Amino acid sequence: MTSVLLFFLAILLAPFYSAIILKVKAFFGGKKGPPLLINYYTLVKLLKKGSVYSTSTTAIFKLGPMVSLCAALTVLMFLPIAGQPPIFTFQGDIIFLLYLLGVGRFFTIAAAMDTASPFEGMGAAREAYFPIICEATLFMVLILFYVVTGELSLAAYFSAGQPAGFWQAAGAPLLFVVLALFIVLLTENSRVPVDDPATHLELTMIHEVMVLDHSGPDLAFIELGSFLKLFFYATMVTRLVCPVTLGHPAADLVVFLATMGVVYVAVGVIESVMARYRMDKVPQFVLTSFALAFFATVISLEFLK
Amino acid sequence: MLAMNNFFLAVFIILGSGVLPLFFLWRRFALMKTIASLGISAGCLIGLIDAIGPLSNGVDLTASAPYLRAFALTFRMDGLSSFFLIAIFFIALLAALYSLHYMADSRKTVRVAVHYLFFSLLVASMALVVTAANMITFMLCWELMSLSSFFLVVYNYENEGNRKAGYLYFIFSQVGAMFILAAFGIIYSHAASFGFDGIAALPETAKILVFALAFIGFGSKAGVFPFHVWLPHAHPAAPSHISAIMSGVMIKCGIYGIVRIYALLGWHAPMFGYIVLVAGMVSGILGVVYALGQHDIKRLLAYHSVENIGIILIGIGLGMIGVSAGNPVMALLGFGGGLLHVLNHSIFKSLLFMGAGMVLHKTGTRTIDVLGGLIKKMRITGATFMIGSLAICGLPPFNGFVSEFLIYIGGFRGTALSQTEFALSLLAIVSLAVIGGLALACFTKVVGIVFQGEPRSAAAEAVDEKELSMIAPMVTLAGACLVIGVFPGVFAGMALRAAESLQLGYGRVPLAPFMQLTGNITRGVLLAFTVFVLILVLRAFLYRGKSVTASGTWGCGFSQPTVRMQYTGSSYAGSIIAFFGPLAPLEENHPPIAGRFPAKTHYQSHVHDIAERHMQRVIVSPVMAAFDKLRWLQHGDIHLYIGYILLAIVVLLFFV
């Protein structure tokens, strides 16, 4: 029951957290910024509207938003939120979930290619490229987690006090893992310095340009899906950064939500103080995450035994 | 020959249907095609039903007949053979149906008739290869398979490129066969019999040599890097249903050979696992990188065969490491996943080749960058091709995911081992992840450029799909992808039963723990389906009574867009190819735009295969130079040739 409640709480809170990033950026820019509830207003506005479809598109264009939202929602059902056990879990679920997110990516790209727009093709090519390195990083981190816990599921990694166990087993190298996961978070969710969600030139976008032709509820699905995906990655980072459990579910939840806020603020700060990398420098940046995860895994498994 | 009656009945029906067109039927084109393709299909169906037996009850069947009084032709059907037979007969069945409408040129009646002869020979010889139970039988069937497929590759022999491709394939298959023959020679010199049974008694040094030679020989058939050079040339040259057979099942006979020789050697040295695993990782990653750089859709699919052979070898390599490290679960996951991937790849790769064949049939071109928007008029081809693409990327809910999942779990088991095993398992997992990501990039490119967007040429506009015999196999294969992807239990069980007959010393394998893993996939997929249906309902509700209008694609302010502005496959893959620069050198030909009124320019790109390049430099050129010096031996004088034969016999008399 708690797991189901937390699942819906996550869906409810994800848009709010994403708004924190906007607020932080506005603060750095010396502006008042949009209200913290801006994403809810946007979603409601989009859901009320109808849609315009390009004459070039087919049914795949409509499948894109649905599949990516479906993937994000399913992933969330397997995610332990605030240390509570998730709704579903099974051995190997993390592999299934990463590939399910892959299905979402396949259809997002396919929907973009459906429009025959050169700009969307450009964005799609980048969307297909950068996450390859992220997957390598994630699997490298999984190897570390697997050897420490002997399990292959999100529930075993992020429930209750387990993240603290990683610190005990791996020690300081786990800092590398946190950093690597944070880079993956930035890449997978199209944040600065990989992608700039606020840019106004289609040529320089990745994710935003791929959804140019979507409108109305379709666009709302995409937006919600990306809020949830960011929430998923932020939860993993949060649980590693702050693995403490106070013993009481409500107290744990408060600590978790507060730490989540810190992670989102960190994303906002990075977005405010950094510029987006040149496109050909991005792979090097993302590769850093792989190198970090690789070192952390090899050091803690081979040398600290 | 009592025990394998049904199997031989199937083989004879297949051969008979292939021979029949040559005698009198070739004058009646449509009748000939119908009889040949339906006959071959019927034979395959009988074989398919028969092959399920040994897998389910675990009883081996044997048949033997003396040949020329010198040796026996022996066949045995165990779990491993049956597993490969299922893939061979299933794909051949559908390919035969597909050929009914694909071979449409009624001016080439004789050629089509001959094609059916070699087609039936190829199917029959593949079935015999995987059941052959002594070395002579094996080599005979193996050569029959190589030769019949050679004649199918040069089906369109008017085209010089196709003749070259056939020649290249011929050399590779014969050199490969020489390596296998060398391995068998070493076995014979120790065991002094042609049987497979004496192999286990070989000394260990001989075993290493046998395995290395056999791995090169079988690897060149399977398309393991760097022996894959023939593959991207031969597959595009052959008619599409032949490409489906060759890429889907024929190259798997190489995998069969590797697995079989490993089982027969009965020596579980860690070195074997290391070799196979490393070869798998290299083939897997480089195969998909080269695939990304291709402009020809069938060539691209051919490189994906190299990639998938890599994935299969990763699974098998992990299995071998599991055996040598005394980890039965890892061993079974590796072998089971690898073998299941054999079946899975045969299904989705033939589906993709048939889809590519449909595109070629309708548009007359294989060039990706001149196509586009095909899915609007070829809905079923487009949809099934997309399912095949999702499956080959290893994405749920399709079959590719299941086998990769098993291999992943096997790899994770391996990370708990120490040192070399740990390092290799770690690399295997990361390679699988990278291969998956690259395959996704490659197939979003194919689907996106060929089937989506707007047509880039007139050829891509005037298309349709009416040929039932071509559509039905594609739909069947797409259905198989989904069924195995959602309910993998039975099929994983089949792969594990096949792994049982490798004599790993585990006896009858308990399936329950593995069924739990596959059951998890079913549950996860069904959960995702449920969520998807809910979203579908929600979407329908949200769009109720809303205004939905159609308009042009947003051109970012540009008011005169043309279809030529669309992103091309070359540019889509460009940045990833650049990342792998040293391994996949890109050659570009692009005169710069100059002057105030620039003239027309063009752009050409070609990704070089380093194996092809270096093989030319290191092997082909020196060999050619050496043979050039021996040219005087070949003078055209028949008397001297007879003298050579005489001399050879005399020399042999001294040694034997």
Give tens-digit pLDDT for A125-175.
Answer: 999 999 999 999 999 999 999 998 889 999 999 987 788 888 988 888 899
Among the partner residues B443, B521, B566, nearest to A116 by beta-carbon distance: B566
Distance from the A208 Cα atom to the nearest Cα atom in chain B, whole angstroms: 13
- What is the Rg, in whole angstroms, of the alpha carbon atoms belonging to chain A? 19
> Position of tokens 């390919």?
B95
Q: How far is B605 from chain A (nearest CA, A)?
A: 18
CA distance B410 to chain A (A): 11
pLDDT bin (cut points 50, 70, 90) of residue B554 is: confident
pLDDT recorded at residue B595: 84
Domain for residue B571, yes or no?
Answer: no
DSSP B145-188: HHHHHHHHHTTTTTSHHHHHHHHHHHHHHHHHHHHHHHHHHHHH
- DSSP assignment string, B453-483: S--SSGGGTS-----HHHHHHHHHHHHHHHH
Q: What radius of gyration do chain B's Cα atoms show?
A: 26
Instruction: State which residue of chain B sits closest to A67, comparing Cα positions.
Output: B532
Q: Is B545 left (phi over 0), alpha (psi -120 to 50) or beta?
A: left
Answer whether B546 sits within 8 Å of A50, measured CB to CB. yes
The candidate with the shortest Cα–Cα distance to B221, out of B183, B245, B250, is: B250
The dihedral sign for the CA sequence B55, B60, B65, B71: positive
Mean local confidence (pLDDT), B456-473: 90
What are B152-198's pLDDT values in tens digits?
Answer: 999 999 999 999 999 999 999 999 999 999 999 999 999 888 888 88
Is B547 inside any structural domain? Answer: no
User: What would the DSSP string read from start to end of A279-293?
Assistant: GGGHHHHHHHHHHHH
What's the mean pLDDT in B337-354? 96
- Give per-residue pLDDT as tens, B291-336: 999 999 999 999 999 999 999 999 999 999 999 999 999 999 999 9
B635 token code pair: 């003078």
- Type of residue at B9: L
Residue B515: inside a domain: no
CB contact under 8 A, A283 and B375: no
A27 to chain B, closest Cα gap in Å = 30
Rounded to an integer, what distance in angstroms lies between the CA atom of residue A206 and that of residue A121? Answer: 10
Q: Taking 60 as the threshold, does the pLDDT of residue A30 lie above it?
A: yes
Residue B69's CB is within 10 A of a number of other CB atoms, namely 6
Average pLDDT for residues B129-155, to the nearest whole number? 94
How open is the CA angle B94-B98-B104, to the nearest 5 degrees? 160
Residue A217: pLDDT band (50, 70, 90) is very high
Choose among A105, A116, A279: nearest Cβ to B553.
A116
The residues, any chain, with a CB within 8 Å of residue B393's CB and separated by 6 or more, are: A102, A106, B400, B436, B439, B440, B443
pLDDT of residue B2: 47
Cis peptide before B226 (omega within 30 of 0): yes
pLDDT tens per residue across span B428-438:
999 999 999 99
Residues of B in contact with A202 (CB under 8 A): 556
Question: How many CB atoms sit inside 10 A of residue A42's CB?
Answer: 16
Among A60, A77, A95, select the one facing B408 at the smallest CB separation. Answer: A95
pLDDT at B592: 86
The confidence band for B209, taking pLDDT boundaries of 50, 70 and 90, is: very high
Contact B240, B297 (CB under 8 A): no
Percent of all residues in chain A with a pLDDT value above 90, rounded to a whole number = 74
Cα dist from A34 to A14, A23, A24, A191, A220, whole Å: 16, 7, 10, 18, 18
Q: Which residues of B touch A117 (CB under 8 A)?
A: 553-556, 566
**Residue of A73, A98, A127, A129 to mutate, interface with B, max B Cβ within 10 Å:** A129
* Contact: B552, A55; criterion CB under 8 Å: yes
Distance from CA of B437 to the nearest CA of A (A): 5
- For residue range B237-296, list pLDDT tens digits in order: 999 999 999 999 999 999 999 999 999 998 888 999 999 999 999 999 999 999 999 999
Q: Give me the interface pTM, i.e. the ipTM.
A: 0.96
What integer best gives the mean pLDDT of chain A? 92
Range of the domain at A75: 2-303
Angle at A57 between CA A52 and CA A63, to 5 degrees: 85
Chain A, residues 129-168, CB within 8 A of chain B, namely 129, 131-133, 135-136, 138-140, 142-143, 146-147, 150, 152
Tokens of B352: 């993709």
Query: Would the pLDDT of A304 be above 70?
Result: no
Per-residue pLDDT, averaged over A6-35, amounts to 94
Q: Calculate ∠ Cα A92-A96-A102, nearest 5°.
A: 150
What is the DSSP secondary structure assignment for residue B200, as one 8-state letter? G
Structure tokens at B508: 């009858």
What is the average per-residue pLDDT within A210-226?
A: 94
> What is the reported pLDDT for B3?
65
For residue A235, pLDDT beyond 60: yes
Among the partner residues A67, A116, A135, nearest to B433 by beta-carbon distance: A135
Report the distance separating Cα B498 and Cα A97, nearest Å: 29
Q: Is B99 part of any domain?
A: yes
Number of domains in chain A: 1
What pLDDT, in 10s, does the model give residues B591-614? Answer: 888 888 888 888 888 999 999 999
CA distance, residue B557 to nearest chain A CA (Å)? 10
Closest Cα in chain A, distance from residue B26 (Å):
44
Q: What is the mean pLDDT of residues B515-529?
A: 94
Task: Say whether residue A287 is in contact with chain B using an 8 A CB cutoff.
Answer: no
User: Would the CB atoms of B551 and A54 count as touching at under 8 Å?
Assistant: yes
DSSP readout, B86-146? HHHHHHHHHHHHHHHHH---GGGHHHHHHHHHHHHHHHHHHHHHTTB-BHHHHHHHHHHHH
**Do residues B287 and B401 make contact, with C-beta atoms less than 8 angstroms apart?**
no
pLDDT of B68 over the 80 cut: no
Shortest distance between the Cα of B384 and any Cα of chain A, in A, equals 13
Query: Which pLDDT value is given to residue B647?
Result: 94
* Full residue range of the structural domain in which residue B82 is found: 1-188+225-246
Mutate to test the interface with B, among A114, A187, A280 (most CBs of B within 10 A): A114
- Cα angle, residue B645 at apex, residues B639 and B648 outer, rounded to 5°: 140
pLDDT-wise least confident of A43-47, A220-224, B37-41, B614-618: B614-618
**Contacting residues of A for B524, CB less than 8 Å apart:** 74, 88, 90, 93, 96, 100
- Interface A–B counts its CB contacts (< 8 A) at 239
Measured between CB atoms, which of B430, B436, B452 is closest to A140?
B430
Q: Which residue has the tokens 């009965």?
A: B266
Distance CA B98, CA B472 (A): 8
Peptide bond into A193 cis (omega under 30): yes
Distance (Å, whole) CA B208 – CA B204:
6
Sort out which chain A residues have CB atoms less than 8 A from B430's CB and list them.
136, 139-140
pTM: 0.95
Do the beta carbons of residue B311 and residue B432 sit within 8 Å?
A: yes
Residue B470 contacts residue B408 (beta carbons within 8 Å): no
* Strand duo B604-607 + B586-589: pairing: antiparallel
pLDDT at residue A305 in the model: 58
Question: What does the pLDDT look like over A171-202, one tens digit per residue?
Answer: 888 999 999 999 999 999 999 899 988 877 77
> Is A149 in contact with A157 (CB distance < 8 Å)?
yes
Contact B299, B235 (CB under 8 A): yes
Q: Is residue B43 pLDDT above 50, yes or no?
A: yes
SS3 of B511, please? Answer: coil
B422: helix, strand or coil: helix
Given the structure tokens 């691209």, which residue do they identify?
A: B300
Residue B147 lies in a domain: yes
Contact A218, A47 (CB under 8 A): no
Q: What is the mean pLDDT of residues A230-243?
A: 94
> Sorting pLDDT into bands at 50, 70 and 90, what band is B501?
confident
Q: Do A92 and B572 touch (CB under 8 A)?
A: no
Residue B157 lies in a domain: yes
Residue B1 banded pLDDT, cuts 50, 70, 90: very low
Nearest to B550 among A53, A147, A202 (CB): A53
Q: What is the pLDDT of residue A111?
A: 95
Instruction: Inspect the interface and report whether the beta carbons of A128 and B444 lie closer than 8 Å.
Output: yes
Question: What is chain B's mean pLDDT, rounded?
Answer: 91
What total of structural domains would you count in chain B? 2
Q: How far is B316 from chain A (nearest CA, A)?
A: 20
Residue B86 covered by a domain: yes
B595: which residues sit within 8 A by CB, 6+ positions away? none
Contacts of A108 (CB under 8 A, 6+ apart): A64, A67, A68, A127, A210, A211, A222
- Is the distance from CB of B219 to CB of B258 less than 8 angstroms? yes
- Measured between CB atoms, does A173 come within 8 Å of chain B? no
Q: Do A40 and A47 touch, CB atoms closer than 8 A? A: no
Grouping H, G, I as helix, E, B as strand and the rest as coil, residue A247 is: coil
pLDDT greater at residue B112 or residue B61: B112
Q: Is A101 on the interface with B (CB under 8 A)?
A: no
CA–CA gap between residue B599 and residue B555 (Å, rounded): 26
- Quick check: B57 and B27 in contact, CB under 8 A? no
